[in-house]
Structure 1
Amino acid sequence: MQKTTYRYEQSAARLTVEGFPDLSAGQGNDSIGILSGWRLQLVAAPELEGTREHLEAMMAVVMPYARHCLSKAPKRFGEGDGFVSIGPDRAGHQLELRSSREGVAPLQLQLDDADLADLVRCLDRLRMDQRVQLSWTLPMDRPLHRRELAERIPLHRRLASPVLGGLALILGAAGSMVLPLPPVQEPVPVEQQAEPLAEPAQP
């Protein structure tokens, strides 16, 4: 059986997958239903390779992380003992890869926005490719929670409005206590004039 190879290229990333069709599922010769290997080449980084579990772990953390970055709410994705994790860094984004072999130190890669965008495009093209008929175990795309959207605003900006509103209320109350009250004027009695009695009519 001949091995099938597909390649997905962008300016800063090149992803290559290899495999065979799953004949028991009736797949054609140009399909990949059994992944035998993959290779990922990023700019200024060593070539990466691994099993399907490694590739699936990368897709499971990089794709949702990119969505959070687009919403300006980046946070770290990936468990501490998982194969892949990614999170924001002062220089951009830090991608950490951990080998399943014992004694191999984790590999840390620094990505800028362009590198991350090209990596996401390659992974997304692989996921949407109808020729690669693999059932990926990936988290569902869900909208961000309101708390995550609120956290993208710096804390000092979130507190500015209520703090300023409270100060304005306090200053207004204090000012009303300092200002002197106007003097109370005593009511002036109204003099009632008696109306003259009408004279009787003369016969």
Structure 2
Amino acid sequence: MLPGHLPGTPSKREFLGFLAFADRVRGSARDAVSRLADAGVHIVMITGDHPGTAESMARELGVLDGRRVVTGAELDDLDDRALDELLPEVGVVARGTPVHKVRVVQAFQRLGRTVAMTGDGANDAPAIRLADLGIAFGTRATPAARAAADLVVTDDRLETVLAALVEGRAMWASVRQALAILVGGNLGEIAFTLLGAAATGTSP
């Protein structure tokens, strides 16, 4: 009898089959990605997955839209200038590390883009902190990601990010309109005061 072997049990290992796991894309995520793209948002998916897996997921989400899939190793071969030239054509970075995420954020900022970074892991925290807007998905976010984020999404839905973007743009449009009215009215008053003072020779 083999050491540790119980009487009456097979002495050889037997192949029983494969066990597969699938991390399915949420049904509403593709529509949210499409609406973000329609709003002018350039989405780049950065993942540690194999390039084939990353590309399949990106196509299902509609992220690629004719853009390229690159790997972290390819980014390592590029200096900052070459990376800046490449990124507008990139939709997915596969086999990405925290360093690659930081480089992508910095590159888009050099290009004059306003960058939002989403994530939930400790490895996302440096890029979340560096981005113009860091977003953590709350229910599964690590303390590091939460602490680094400017915004914590408590329902973990990409649609909430889209709603925040739409509401933020609407608020900014309202602020700009109000400022235009106020400044326009005040300029008239200032001009009237200055012209009146010049005409009378007195100090305004």
| Fold similarity call, TM over 0.5 | no
Higher share of residues assigned strand: 1
- Higher RCO, Cα 8 Å, sep 6+: 1
Kindly name which structure, 1 or 2, has the bigger radius of gyration based on alpha carbons: 1
Higher helix share: 2
- What TM-score comes out, normalization by structure 2 length? 0.27
